[in-house]
Structure 1
């Protein structure tokens, strides 16, 4: 779908392709449009970033409203993504039950819902934290929709490498909500998620390679052999673990130990996949995919625990 197609959606009558949802079903359809599983993972990274920014527990009201605003921003981006990708969602087995693909909601309904959530996110974050946090949330929505979904996704196998930057923004938004600025630890956390995203998503794309091929979306597993995908997954997993350890100046040995142990576990899963592919086996990407989710959530939980334990940071070694 192009920007011109979106213009037609706004001005032309909308006709769902299936049976429109009613009552409670419509509420569930709108909720599904936001991709709540993705939102949960994004919010898991926000709270530890806020704790680290505050070097303790910030105002619980600030945390609550930042999560509300962040959830609205992520829901907006995901809903607008579903609007633009409604055509390919109908083709892919993994996504054909999404509300716009089934006709439970019309494309126009999805469009205005997504835009409304974006306005809500900006308003909530500006009213409860500051203009910087609110503006960063809008920037994340625009990047995910305009850069990743409209430009990169259907044109290059590097789509998720660069498009994943939008999913890194919750840690920056959380930091900005607490401090009103964005300092270097926030960018380190941003970088952790940025390099984690390809290793995470490419394994899912390996599992659903036929889906992406049928939809003509050039995810890396569609255009490259499994050996290349596995090798790059390992490389990005190493980058993820390495960058995660760069937080040592502002954390104690508690976090460093957690990040090191979890990093070793994540790398072992990635290397196992590469070994399977090298032996000529089909490979099992989903254990790496699920391990990546557990790894990211646990590493950020380690940040939170480190702050709450209250040990002095390691600091710079010079």
Structure 2
């Protein structure tokens, strides 16, 4: 296979796709900048960006375009920083899982210290810029989100308890609160409701994924719910959390965060 054909193949592998063995040549030909981007977990970053921006849109008050743009960028960079440090810490178990073994660190394409340095620098940069150019409350919330995801979820909970995603999900539920605080410089009932919606959505979402990947998690020794309690119990919990989520999603209309449909 020629170098040009390798380059063509590389362009067909999506940035954050978890590749299979047939993608090996494309992976080898990827420039390092692509692997650094993968460390930031682009798909997770895009979801965090969406929820953070939603919090900004729903918050009472106004924010100028420049400040709002800075806030959104800081939220995205904070999410990416968390992802990079998560990949640094989880590189040993990522190597055991079919879904993650081709990531830059377990595959040996980047050095672990590079991921840790990237995550640390982006964490400090995003929190500092948020504090200087947006406001202190949103900066502190961003710092809390990063710290919770790294130290509470990744390092403490993930490998110890099947409740990892329930408790750890708080970090994923904070971005709309950060977006809200970027506009209002406070945390109020509306932002707490947005937090509750994402918090209740997170466990059934990840448990559904872990049902599909239970073999991977068992092989890596990660106590996800299907591994510890079985698939039947996991499905029951997914149903319970989904049913609990429904009334919570209706609360915004009643407290006038948003108008009811057609209202």
- 1:52 aligned to which of 32, 53, 58: 58
2:255 counterpart of 1:252: no
Residue 31 of structure 1 is matched in structure 2 by 37
Uncovered stretches (5+) of structure 1, i.e. residues with no partner: 1-20, 258-310, 312-318
The aligned counterpart of 1:182 is 187
Counterpart mapping for 1:135-146 below 5 A: 135-146=140-151
**Map of 2:85 onto structure 1:** 80
Q: CA deviation at 1:71?
A: 0.7
Mapping of 1:229-248 within 5 angstroms? Answer: 229-248=234-253
3-state SS of the aligned residue for 2:63?
Answer: coil
The within-5 A match list for 1:129-278 is 129-248=134-253, 249-250=255-256, 251-254=258-261
2:117 match: 112
Distance 2:67 2:82 in 1: 22
| Distance in 1 separating the partners of 2:29 and 2:226 | 40
Query: Which blocks of at least 5 consecutive residues in structure 2 are unaligned?
Result: 1-26
| Structure 2 residue 131 is matched with structure 1 residue 126 | yes
**How many angstroms apart in 1 are the aligned matches of 2:202 and 2:119?**
23
Corresponding residue SS for 2:174: helix
Cα deviation, 1:45-82, whole Å, max 9, x if unaligned, reads 11221111135x63222221111100111011111111
Q: Does the residue aligned with 1:109 lie in a helix, a strand or coil?
A: helix
Query: Structure 2: how far apart are the matches of 1:235 and 1:59?
Result: 41
CA distance in 2, matches of 1:224, 1:238: 20
| TM-score, length of structure 1 as denominator length | 0.71
Shift of residue 22, structure 1, vs aligned partner: 9.6
* Offset at residue 145 of structure 1 (A): 0.7
Are the equivalent residues in 2 in contact too, given 1:69–1:122 (CA < 8 A)?
yes
Following superposition, which runs of at least 4 residues in structure 1 exceed 6 angstroms of deviation?
21-24
Partner of 1:287: none
SS in 1 for 2:99: coil
Residue of structure 1 in register with 2:105 after alignment? 100
C-alpha distance in structure 2 between counterparts of 1:24 and 1:179, whole Å: 43
1:41 is aligned, of 39, 44, 47, to: 47
- TM-score for the superposition, normalised by structure 2: 0.86
Output the CA distance in 1 between the equivalents of 2:37 and 2:125.
Answer: 15
Q: Give the number of aligned pairs.
A: 235
Cα RMSD, aligned residues only: 1.7
Distance change >3 Å, CA 231–CA 23, structure 1 → 2: closer
CA deviation map 1:84-130 (0-9, x unaligned): 10000000011111111111111111111100010111122112211
Distance between the aligned counterparts of 2:152 and 2:235, measured in 1? 26
Kept in 2, the 8 Å contact 1:164–1:194? The answer is: yes
**Alpha-carbon distance, 1:221 to partner:** 0.7
Structure-1 residue corresponding to 2:22: none
Query: In the TM superposition, what whole-angstrom CA distance separates every residue of 1:133-175 from its partner, at most 9, and x where no partner exists?
Result: 1111111111111111111100100000000110111111101
1:293 corresponds in structure 2 to none
